[in-house]
Amino acid sequence: MNNFFVIFSILFLSGCSAFLVPMSSDPNTKLGQAYELYEIGRPLPAERIAKEALDIFIEQKDKLGESEANFFLGVFYKYKSGWKNVPEQEYIDKAIEKLKLAETGYKSIGENIQASKVTFELGQSYRSKNRIDLTCKYYEESLELYKTGQGQYKEFRFNPEYNSPIDLINAHVEHVCAKKT
């Protein structure tokens, strides 16, 4: 019976918290942990840790970190909108809110390439709302921002089926926006 309580406690803790995730007060470490937790299928602690990182970035007035944390949460909420038993439009709206904060933050510090990844995700979010006008607006803005080459951080993760972020964005513009006219 004693083993039952130990096993139950371990299973309970591992499902409800960031069990076995080392504590850190560094917001960059926290945000990295949030990405890792999300990728291994532990979204709830990922969200909590990302929010903690965001709070620290805001407190430290770290606009780059704040923007990246808002980007993570925006993408997180966009994907969460597809879960069963969650109000889809509410989470898409939360995603758009966080992504707009990330876009503003990146632009304010001249990180246009990073702002490009955000505006692309804004386009994707509006696409899920069936707002093709806004989808295309953000896709085109994403392309323009990326082409400036401005920013210290020149790369971001994108679908490996494409050779570059430009190819990815162009494919979406051609597929979605060509139909709009």
Residue 6 lies in a domain: no
Residue 3 lies in a domain: no
Residue 11 lies in a domain: no
For residues 101 and 13, give the distance between their C-alpha atoms in angstroms, rounded to a whole number: 33
Q: What is the pTM of this model?
A: 0.84
Residue 143 lies in a domain: yes
For residues 57 and 47, give the distance between their C-alpha atoms in angstroms, rounded to a whole number: 15
User: Could you list the residue range(s) of the whole structural domain that residue 168 is in?
Assistant: 24-177
Helix, strand, or coil here: 112?
helix
The domain that holds 166 is classified in CATH as 1.25.40.10
For residues 102 and 92, give the distance between their C-alpha atoms in angstroms, rounded to a whole number: 15
Residue 32 lies in a domain: yes
Q: How many domains does the chain have?
A: 1
Note the pLDDT of residue 14: 45
pLDDT tens for each residue of the chain, 181 residues long = 555 444 444 444 444 444 445 688 999 999 999 999 999 999 999 999 999 999 999 999 999 999 999 999 999 999 887 777 777 888 999 999 999 999 999 999 999 999 999 999 999 999 999 999 999 999 999 999 999 999 998 888 788 899 999 999 999 999 999 865 4
Give burial (CB, 10 Å; 0-12/13-18/19+) of 3. exposed
DSSP 34-80: HHHHHHTT-HHHHHHHHHHHHHHHHHTT-HHHHHHHHHHHHHHHHHH
